[in-house]
Structure 1
Amino acid sequence: MTMQRPNFIFILADDLGYADLGCFGSTATFSKPPFAPSANLDRLARQGLLSTQSYSNSPVCSPTRFALMTGNYQYRYRGALDEPIASARGSSVLGLPQSVPTLPKMLRESGYATGLVGKWHLGFPPHFGPLQSGYDYFYGATAGAVDYFSHKDSRGHHDLWENNTEVFDEGYFTDLVSDRAVQWLEQFGPASDKPFMLSLHYTAPHWPWLTRDDVNESQRLEKTNAIAHLDGGNLQTYWRMIQQLDEGIGRVIHQLEINGQLDNTLIIFTSDNGGERFSNNWPFT
C-alpha cells in the first residue's frame, strides 16, 4: 500500500504581535457572550506544537517573506533590501528572481498542487509574481498593504488579482481571502489523491485598521489619502481584525474536515514579524 503524502497549509498573519493570541498570553476577550479573539488558533495550539523559540530575522514585510520563501537570508537578493517594495511597481530588478528555488517550486516538481491566497509582496508581475515562483494558482494582492474594502494599495493602485488577471470582487479583504482559500480546497475531497500546499497569507491585522463593519471608515481614509498607519484604528478594532482572521482559519479547518484531509495536513501558523501600534509584543518590547 502506497503511503499518502502529507498536505501543507502555511498561514501567515501580517504584523501580528507575539502576545496577540491567547496561546501566547493574550487576555483580550469580547463580552455578550465572552469569547477570545483567537479561539481557532488557540485550539490548533492546544492540539499541536507551540514554538516559543523561533524568531523572524527581519522586522518588516518583504525581507521576511524573501527568507520564508527561499530559506535563505534576505540580503542575498537585491529586492529584499527594499522596503516597501511597493515603490518598485513594474520593476524588472526588484523582486524574487524566477531562478531562485522556493518551497512551492520544489513541491510542485514533486507532484503537489500549489496555491497562494492573500498577500504576495515579493515584486510585481510580469517579472515577479506567485506564478513565476512555483504556484499554480494565485488570488490576492501583490503590494504590501491594501484597503480592506477598495482593495487599493497605499499609492492608490487597485490591487486584487486572480492569477494574472485583475479582478474587482467586492467585500472585506480578509473574508475574500478566507472564501477563496475554502473554494480552492474544495477540489481536494475524500476521493482526491493529489497532495497540496496552500500558502494562506492574510493582510490582517496590518493597517489600515478596519473590521468588516468599517466600510465608512474605509471611505473616510480614502478621501484623505490616509490608509497608512498614521491614521485611524483603536485596540478594539485591532482585536476584531484578529478575531475575523481567526474565523477564516476556522472555516479552512472545517473544509479540511469535510474533505477528510485534516489528519493528513500539516498546518503551520506564524506572523511575518512583530506588530505595530495596537499589538502586544511582550516580552520583546
Structure 2
Amino acid sequence: MPEISRRTFGGLIGGGTVTAVAGSAGAAEAAERPFKARPAPSGARPNLLVILGDDLGWADLSSYGAPHIRTPNLDRLARQGVRFTDAYSGSATCSPTRFSLYTGRYPGRTAGGLAEPIADRAQGLDPHHPTLASLVKKAGYATALIGKWHCGWLPDYSPTRSGWDEFFGNFGGVLEYFSKLGQLGDYDLYEGDAEYKDLRYYTTVLTERAVEYVGRKHATPWLLNLNFTTPHWPWLAEGDEETGAEIAARIRAAKSQAEVSVALNHFDGGSVAKYTEMVESLDAAVGEVLDALRRSGQEENTVVVFASDNGGERWSYLWPLSGEKFVLQEGGIRVPTIVRWPARIDGRQVSHEPVFTPDWTATLLELAGARPDPAYPLDGTSLAGYLLRGERLPERDLFWRVRANRALRRGGWKYYQDDAGDDHLYDLAADLREQADLAPDRPELLAELKTSWERIAATLLPYPS
C-alpha cells in the first residue's frame, strides 16, 4: 500500500516551511506513516459529524503552530486521525463556502452562491437543488443542522427545505452572541422555522444541542452539520454580557442595515487575548461534543470532519501565510482540517495532499452509500479511496473565483490574480508565503494555469452587474 502523500510530503519538506510552523511533535514523527484501513462492522455505514469553525485561521490551533492558543481537544482529534496541512475552503467568505459544502459544487454554479456573502432575504440556496443532506437522507440517514446556516432566510430558504430533518440555529452570517440579534437587525435563533428564546452565550447553547443530538438512541445512521459561529466577530466570550448588551443597543438603534453591520463588526473591540479566549472556547465546545459521542458508544463508527469555513480575520494567527478572509491568497482560503474515523483510519497521520471543501461532500456521499444527482455533477473528488485504501488522488486543479480575485492550484503551483488584475505564479512548496512571483520566469506555465482557470470559469454563472 503506498505511503501517505509521499510525493507531496517530500516537496513540502524541501521548502522547509510547513513542519516548522504547522506540525506538532507527534504529527511530525508520523508524517510519513501510511494509511491502514481496517474493516468496518459488516453492513454498518458511518455516522457523519461535520463541524465548522467560523473565520478560524489556518494556524489558529496549537497543532497547526499557534504559539499562544491552546486547543487540546482538537489536537487530540488530530492525533486520533489525519491532519491536513494543504486543505482549503471552497471560497474566501462564509456563505459561498457553505454552498460548496452543501452542494459539492463551486459556489458560482448557483445564483445564491454568487453573493459574497449573502446579505438579504432575496438570496439563498434553491430548495430544489440536491444537497449533502437530501442525498444521504434518500440513502436512509437522519439529518440535522445545528448552528449557522447562512444560505438564506425565511420564508423561502431554510435547512428544513433543503434536506435536513432538524434545524436549530441562526439563518444569517453573524449575530451578537447573547441577544441573538443578527445581520438583518432582528432576532435570529430558531428551532425549525420558529423563534427560540435563549439569551445565554451562543456557543454554549449550540454545544448543548449537539451533545443532546449525538447522545440520542438513533435508529439509523445520521448526518449532523454542526456550524459554530465562534470565533467570528463580534469579539465576545462567555461572561461578556455587558459588552454584548452595548452592541445589541447599537443594533436596535441602527437606522440601516449598514449601521447594523458596523455594530456587529465591533471595530472598536477585540484583541489577541479575546480572540484566543474565543478559539479556546470553541475547542472546549468540540471536546464536549466528542465526549458525548464517546459516551453514546458511536465513536468508533462516526466520521468526524473538522474545518473552518474560510481563512482567518484580523486577530487570527496566520503565519507564514499572506492574506486573510475575503481574498484568495493562502491566508484567505487555507484552513485547518482534521478527519477521524476510528473504525477505518489510523491516528497520528498528516496529509499534505491539496484538498478543498467540495471534496468532503463527495467523500461523505460515498461513505454513506449515497449517489450524487447526475443532473448536478459534483466539482469535488471523493477522498474515500485515498483515506481508506491508500489510493493516489488524480492530478487535478483546485479552482476559486471571487469578484476581486482568481486562483487555481495544480500540484505545488498556484496561479493568483490580485484585485488590480495582475497575474502571479507561486511555487507553494518553496514559498508558502506567496512572496516570490515566478510569473516572469515561467510564462508558459502561467499561461497554462490561467487558461485552465478561464475554462472552468466559463462554465459558471456570471456575477450580476
TM-score normalised by the chain length of structure 1: 0.91
1:247 aligns with 2:247: no
The C-alpha deviation readout for 1:125-147, integer Å capped at 9, x for no partner, is 22111001110000000000000
The C-alpha deviation readout for 1:233-268, integer Å capped at 9, x for no partner, is 111111111111111111111111111000110100
Percent identity over paired residues: 44
Cα separation, 2, equivalents of 1:250 and 1:3: 29
Contact 2:141 2:220 (8 Å CA) reproduced: yes
**Secondary structure, aligned partner of 1:85:** coil
The C-alpha deviation readout for 1:87-117, integer Å capped at 9, x for no partner, is x22x2xx211112111111111111111100
Q: Identify the residue that residue 73 of structure 1 maps to in structure 2.
A: 106
Q: Identify the residue that residue 159 of structure 1 maps to in structure 2.
A: 188
One-letter amino acid of the structure 2 residue matched with residue 3 of structure 1: G
* 1:239-278 paired onto structure 2 within 5 Å: 239-278=276-315
**Secondary structure, aligned partner of 2:140:** coil
Q: Identify the residue that residue 36 of structure 2 maps to in structure 1.
A: none
Considering only aligned residues, what root-mean-square deviation do their CA atoms show, in Å? 1.4
Q: Identify the residue that residue 33 of structure 1 maps to in structure 2.
A: none
Cα separation, 2, equivalents of 1:106 and 1:231: 44
Q: Identify the residue that residue 72 of structure 2 maps to in structure 1.
A: 39
Given candidates 276, 280, 285, the residue that maps to 2:317 is 280
- Structure ranking higher on relative contact order (CA contacts 8 Å, 6+ apart): 1
1:6 aligns with 2:32: no
Cα separation, 2, equivalents of 1:71 and 1:3: 26
Cα separation, 1, equivalents of 2:117 and 2:144: 24
1:202 aligns with 2:228: yes
1:51 aligns with 2:91: no
Given candidates 184, 187, 206, the residue that maps to 1:177 is 206
How many residues in Structure 1 have an aligned counterpart in Structure 2? 271
Cα separation, 2, equivalents of 1:231 and 1:275: 18
**Secondary structure, aligned partner of 1:179:** helix
Q: Identify the residue that residue 224 of structure 1 maps to in structure 2.
A: 250
How far off is 1:220 after superposition? 1.7
**Secondary structure, aligned partner of 1:227:** helix
Q: Identify the residue that residue 64 of structure 1 maps to in structure 2.
A: 97
Cα separation, 2, equivalents of 1:131 and 1:26: 37
How far off is 1:55 after superposition? 1.4
Contact 1:154 1:228 (8 Å CA) reproduced: no
Q: Identify the residue that residue 128 of structure 2 maps to in structure 1.
A: 99
Given candidates 126, 130, 150, the residue that maps to 2:155 is 126
**Secondary structure, aligned partner of 1:263:** coil
**Deviant stretches of 4+, over 6 Å:** none
The C-alpha deviation readout for 1:157-205, integer Å capped at 9, x for no partner, is 10000011111112100110001011122213xxx44111110000000
How far off is 1:232 after superposition? 0.9
One-letter amino acid of the structure 1 residue matched with residue 204 of structure 2: D
TM-score normalised by the chain length of structure 2: 0.57
How far off is 1:155 after superposition? 3.3
Given candidates 137, 162, 185, the residue that maps to 2:166 is 137
Q: Identify the residue that residue 32 of structure 1 maps to in structure 2.
A: none
**Secondary structure, aligned partner of 2:49:** strand
Cα separation, 2, equivalents of 1:216 and 1:110: 47
How far off is 1:2 after superposition? 4.7
Task: Identify unmatched segments of 5+ residues in structure 1.
Answer: 30-35
One-letter amino acid of the structure 1 residue matched with residue 68 of structure 2: A
Cα separation, 2, equivalents of 1:54 and 1:164: 34
Cα separation, 2, equivalents of 1:170 and 1:269: 27
Contact 1:148 1:210 (8 Å CA) reproduced: yes
The C-alpha deviation readout for 1:34-61, integer Å capped at 9, x for no partner, is xx2x110010011110111221231111
**Secondary structure, aligned partner of 2:57:** coil
**Secondary structure, aligned partner of 1:266:** strand
The C-alpha deviation readout for 1:14-71, integer Å capped at 9, x for no partner, is 0001100011111115xxxxxx2x1100100111101112212311111111111111
Contact 2:211 2:289 (8 Å CA) reproduced: yes
How far off is 1:231 after superposition? 2.7
Cα separation, 2, equivalents of 1:168 and 1:64: 28
Given candidates 237, 240, 258, the residue that maps to 1:211 is 237
One-letter amino acid of the structure 2 residue matched with residue 14 of structure 1: D
Contact 2:90 2:101 (8 Å CA) reproduced: no
**Secondary structure, aligned partner of 1:247:** helix
One-letter amino acid of the structure 2 residue matched with residue 71 of structure 1: G
Distance 1:18 1:119, change over 3 A: same
One-letter amino acid of the structure 2 residue matched with residue 49 of structure 1: V
